[in-house]
Amino acid sequence: MRIPTHLQSRVKKLALKSWVADKQFPRDHYFESIDTYEERLAGLKTADGYDEATANRSLAVMLGAELNAEGALNEYVVETNTHDVEDDQEWTLICEAAGWCVLQLYERGRKR
């Protein structure tokens, strides 16, 4: 699973993959969220135009919203101070990028 190109610079600049891979990151909580979200999206996968790529983007966006609500992503971005967040659209893209990182970590663990 690849993180969309338009998000990769944010992932790299903020070291989001390292952040979600850190032992202190509550991955079990987010992995459970992925399982729950996948159950809810399962019925949509039969709809026209709703394929695995669309489902993955939906999962990443939902995870990003959860990361935003939880607050640790905001603390991390402010703490690292490597990326200016000047507007809501930029913050939304950072949240989605972080969601993709969690989803990618989940998928890698699933393949083992």
Give me the number of domains the chain comprises: 1
One-character DSSP codes across 55-100: HHHHHHHHHHHHHHHHSHHHHHHHHH--S---SHHHHHHHHHHHHH
Give residue-wise pLDDT tens across range 28-69. 999 999 999 988 887 766 666 667 888 899 999 999 999 999
Record the pTM: 0.89
**59 lies in which domain range?**
13-111
**What is the torsional sign of CA 63, 109, 5, 23?**
positive
Q: What mean pLDDT value characterizes the chain? A: 89
Kindly state whether residue 91 falls inside one of the protein's structural domains. yes
Query: Does some domain include residue 5?
Result: no
In a domain, 106, yes or no: yes
Determine, yes or no, domain membership for 70.
yes
Residue 8 lies in a domain: no
Task: Write down the pLDDT at residue 104.
Answer: 96
